[in-house]
Amino acid sequence: MELARMQHFEDLAHEYGAPLYIYDSSIIQKQYTRLFKAFSSVKDVKLNYACKANTNINVIKFIRKLGSGLDAVSIQEIEIGLKAGFSPQEIIFTPSGVNFNEIREATKLGVKIHIDNFPFLRKFAQEFKNYPIGIRINPHIKAGGNENISTGHVNSKFGISIEQVQDIIKLTQEVSLHIEGFHIHTGSDILDIDVFLQGAKVLFAIADKFPNLTYLDFGSGFKVPYKPDDKQTNIEKLGEKLSDLFNQFIEKYGKPLRLIFEPGKFLVSQCGFFVAEVNVVKDTPYRSFAFINSGFNHLIRPMFYHAYHNITNISNPAGKEQIYDVVGYICETDTFASNRKISEIRMGDLLCLENAGAYCFSMSSNYNSRLLPAEVLLLNGKAHLIRRRENLEDLLSTTIDISI
């Protein structure tokens, strides 16, 4: 991290308090442009931001301005998307195992819908005969950087099995189903582009059996770098190969189809930085622990996914490197990094965790009755507060104090 950025983040932490989430919109724009350009040889491409990665309405509004649609997995994400300015037809709702009332509500709002089970397909056909839908397919492809983020394998809860495609065809002969597209998503942090090409062949084989489609949705799962010189999905090479396959298929299919991707982490992971203050450095005969004023209540990925976040001491970047465990203040083990080389850490220093834009604040909680931090968005280099720090009144606002 360059010195100017470190100084800027240190100033922001002093202004807004630490811990603090900081998002750089220029990085989001760079990632969006890169992905869109990689598939420029396809006539109709649409990127739908997977907003579960980061649901701050200002982040969503910025991505909408870039030309993106929205991928939502809950009725609340749909409602946030509508408030952010998306039209209903720009939103695709891809839930998993929700109550059918959410599906009903989504139809009232007029958004596109993906369904991934037969009971709901049949029920949907009975209640909404002329409403077009998409179907999520489980391609039986095991991929992803972690078991918890592998979603397309044979034992996954997501999607209708590829072995049941004939049952979908049979169902369309029994009930009125207006199927407009198919969707797959095999997992996250996928490095091997052959996984995506394999998924494409699965989708093409299914689409061949349904002559009236308007789109194919390939989900996402592109790997981003987490450390210097880390490997990442070769988006340019993937764009070249998958675009050729897609263009060949639509020529064979005989009508135009839209190619959809649903990037989440790819767009916002690298834009995010989490700055926390060091409470104390505790030396033992075996370890040096740097305790920060945060925990897995604010950033759970290292504990949940064993995810790596590069950590820089922005208060003492030129200090001599030493080995630390960076840990939190929660009453369970909440280790952000083990045996990590970091410039000498002192009480009161500010540490910055990178790749904090995706699945960080959006997965935070009030565990241990801790308050959620503020969020700041950098637009053209200028900082804008987009979520204030919580206070105790916020924490108690939904509770009802009864006489006991």
Tens of each residue's pLDDT in the chain, 404 residues: 899 999 999 999 999 999 999 999 999 999 999 999 999 999 999 999 999 999 999 999 999 999 999 999 999 999 999 999 999 999 999 999 999 999 999 999 999 999 999 999 999 999 998 899 999 998 877 555 445 444 556 666 878 898 899 999 999 988 889 999 999 987 777 888 898 899 899 999 999 999 999 999 999 889 999 988 899 999 999 999 999 999 999 999 999 999 999 999 999 999 999 999 999 999 999 999 999 999 999 999 999 989 999 999 999 999 999 999 999 999 999 999 999 999 999 999 999 999 999 999 999 999 999 999 999 999 998 999 999 999 999 999 999 999 99
Q: Decide: 57 and 80 in contact? Cβ < 8 Å.
A: yes
Q: What are phi and psi of 352, to 5 degrees?
A: -115, 125
> CA torsion, points 202, 34, 30, 184, in degrees to nearest 10?
-10
Three state DSSP letters for 276-294: EEEEEEEECCCCEEEEECC
* Confidence at residue 150, expressed as pLDDT on a 0 to 100 scale: 45
The length of the chain is: 404
Q: Decide: 313 and 351 in contact? Cβ < 8 Å.
A: yes
Query: What domains, with CATH codes, occur in the chain?
Result: 3-17+272-356+358-396 (2.40.37.10), 26-264 (3.20.20.10)
Which residues form the catalytic set? 331
Residues forming the annotated binding site?
A: 221, 301, 305, 332, 359
Q: Scanning the structure block, which residue is given the tokens 């200090």?
A: 319
User: Measured between alpha carbons, how far is 302 from 227 in angstroms, rounded to an integer?
Assistant: 14
* Confidence at residue 152, expressed as pLDDT on a 0 to 100 scale: 52
Residues forming the annotated binding site for pyridoxal 5'-phosphate?
A: 221, 359
- Coil/strand/helix, residue 338: strand
Structure tokens at 164: 């049941």
Q: What are phi and psi of 323, to 5 degrees?
A: -95, 125
Residues forming the annotated binding site for substrate?
A: 301, 305, 332, 359
Give the HSE-up count for residue 377: Cα atoms under 13 Å, Cβ half-sphere.
17
pTM for the model:
0.94
What does each C-alpha distance from 99 to 104, 105, 184, 200 come to in angstroms?
9, 10, 21, 30
- Count of beta carbons in the 10 Å neighbourhood of residue 245: 13
288-292 and 374-379: which strand pairing?
A: unpaired
* Confidence at residue 155, expressed as pLDDT on a 0 to 100 scale: 65
> CA torsion, points 38, 40, 43, 48, in degrees to nearest 10?
50
Three state DSSP letters for 217-248: ECCCCECCCCCCCCCCCCHHHHHHHHHHHHHH
* 3-state DSSP percent of the chain in helix, strand and coil, to 5: 35, 25, 40
Q: Scanning the structure block, which residue is given the tokens 């009125």?
A: 176
